Structure 1
Amino acid sequence: MILNPLRIFADIGRNRYLLGQLIKRDVLLRYRGAMFGLLWIFLSPLLMLSIFAFVFGHIFQARWSQQLGGLPFWLNLYCGLIVFNIFAEAVSRSPSAVRGYPSFVKKIIFPVEILPLVPLGAGLVHGAFNFLILLAALAWTGNLHVQILLFPLLLAPVLLLALGFSWFLAAWGVFIKDMTQIVPLFVQMLMFLSPVFYPVSAVPEALRPIYLHNPLGAVIEAGRTAALGAPISWTHWVTALVIGLAAAILGYAFFQHSREEFADAL
């Protein structure tokens, strides 16, 4: 059955080696020819965090409203960006995920459904380096708590949501070329509509349930809570996980329903 989540993830598991090779190729191609090569995976987030620390810590001296535990504003911001950037990279690049591999699509035996997962995998690679830098920054500021090790687990709802959107948008991207321009614009708008630059407590009370139960908002808040070493709201996280799983299943179903027409459209 196409809506069986066990079948969906079993299919991904069977093709994990091929998917891993495609992700590796995607990451390596991005840095090919650069003077520092793969070192940019580490340098880019490190430079970004340094700028955040200088601008928001020394120039603006920004403070988080109802700040807990003394976690600096720039670290709160960085926690949110780690989560959002993984989602953003996967979704922004998904409209061209299938269109960019026409030769693969026309091969009958090729598992086309793994192509939209390549940008998500690349986003996870970059996210892993961002997380290591976050650990170092938390240790440097004296805010390192063992609970931060839950951060990778907390990402599950966002990863499922990104999967669903990636499959859905990858299918649409085959038929509508404008999706490659439209989707990144909406992702940028979503960054400001998500609690990346502000806490959920700053959102009008009537809108807070939307922020707390959607996967992006719930995971960003849970990630910051883990960084603080405070108790995590698992109720909101589980609700977000269910929503993310539903999005993944529906996105996969739409992709599989549309895939027969991919070869003709390309």
Structure 2
Amino acid sequence: MISNFTTHRYLLGQLILRDVLLRYRGAMFGILWIFLSPLLMLAIFAFVFGHIFQSRWPEQPEGLPFWLLLYSGLIVFNIFGEAVSRSPTAVRAYPSYVKKIIFPVYLLPLVPLGTCLIHAGLNLLILVAALAWTGHLSSGILLAPLLILPVLLFATGLSWFLSAWGVFIKDMTQIVPLFVQMTFFLSPVLYPVSVVPPALRPLYEYNPLGAVIEAIRAAVFGMHISWVPWIVSLISGSIAAVLGLAFFMHSRDEFADAL
């Protein structure tokens, strides 16, 4: 399978590029929305949480704006949330591809994830600029591409699993967005793991989303990274990716009949 990914890397890149271009085709500002959307979101966060609520994080570093802590966690969650939300239609939206025997159908669920990574990269650049502007830029941010790996694996596994289900169960397009919304509030995006009740804290610390969000925040702001939860989440994310791919490949032969 790894050999197949290597062989089809150009095709996957072209599918991701096509997805990005189609998403903004016909818009007045076109592909500039890739930059405008995160900038507008960051400005809203700075205004609402920095000036209106004047919120503070428990054990927040001196002088560090709350909205940057929030934004760093949101970058991680958006990779997961957007990829998983689009996964139920990742295969069903391309019946002509599914019916081509030689087409590597397992690439289709990876297209939304690739688009999310492009957005995440731009969001990260904006975060770097904001950190430099506020005087809190740290070399730890260079670890960000490595630290998000568990979330990528976890989102990939769920995308394969849900895209296969989406072919047979159309209700998945309604169920999955609700699941993503609930996951947003149950993940440490708006709050740190330290405020979670002790009995529930391991569930937050050792799942891919919670571990990566906490690790990214620690790295970005020059604090100590807890590597044990990150390694556990890397293992669980890898298991999710393998199981998701196995389920997808097992279901693939029925896709053409269902569509």
Match of 1:163 among 153, 156, 160: 156
Structure 1 unaligned segments of length 5 or more: list them: 1-6
Selected match of 2:252 from 231, 234, 259: 259
CA distance in 2, matches of 1:48, 1:55: 11
> Is 1:69–1:228's contact at 8 Å kept on the other side of the alignment?
no
Offset of 1:196 from its aligned partner?
A: 0.3
Residue 220 of structure 1 pairs with residue 213 of structure 2: yes
After superposition, residues 233-244 of structure 1 pair within 5 angstroms as 233-244=226-237
Cα RMSD between the aligned structures? 0.8
The number of residue pairs the alignment matches comes to: 259
**After the TM superposition, which residues 164-203 of structure 1 pair with which residues of structure 2 at under 5 Å, given as runs?**
164-203=157-196
- Per the TM alignment, residue 12 of structure 1 is displaced from its structure 2 partner at its CA by 1.8
Normalised by the length of structure 1, the TM-score is 0.96
> What is the CA distance between 1:220 and its match in structure 2?
0.2
CA distance in 2, matches of 1:94, 1:212: 26
Q: Partners of 1:69 and 1:35 in 2: how far apart?
A: 41
Q: Which stretches of structure 1, 4 residues or more, deviate above 2 A after TM superposition? A: 68-71
* Equivalence map 1:79-228=2 (5 Å): 79-228=72-221
1:44-84 CA distance string (max 9 Å, x none): 10010011011111111000112135422101110110000
SS in 2 for 1:205: coil
Map 1:37-116 → 2, pairs under 5 A: 37-116=30-109
Query: Are 1:246 and 2:246 an aligned pair?
Result: no
- For residues 208 and 253 of structure 2, the distance between their equivalents in structure 1, rounded to whole angstroms, comes to 31
- The answer on whether the counterparts of 1:71 and 1:143 sit within 8 Å (CA) in structure 2 is yes
AA at the equivalent of 1:93: R
Shift, 1:230, TM fit: 1.3
- Alignment-mate amino acid for residue 208 of structure 2: P
TM-score (norm 2): 0.98
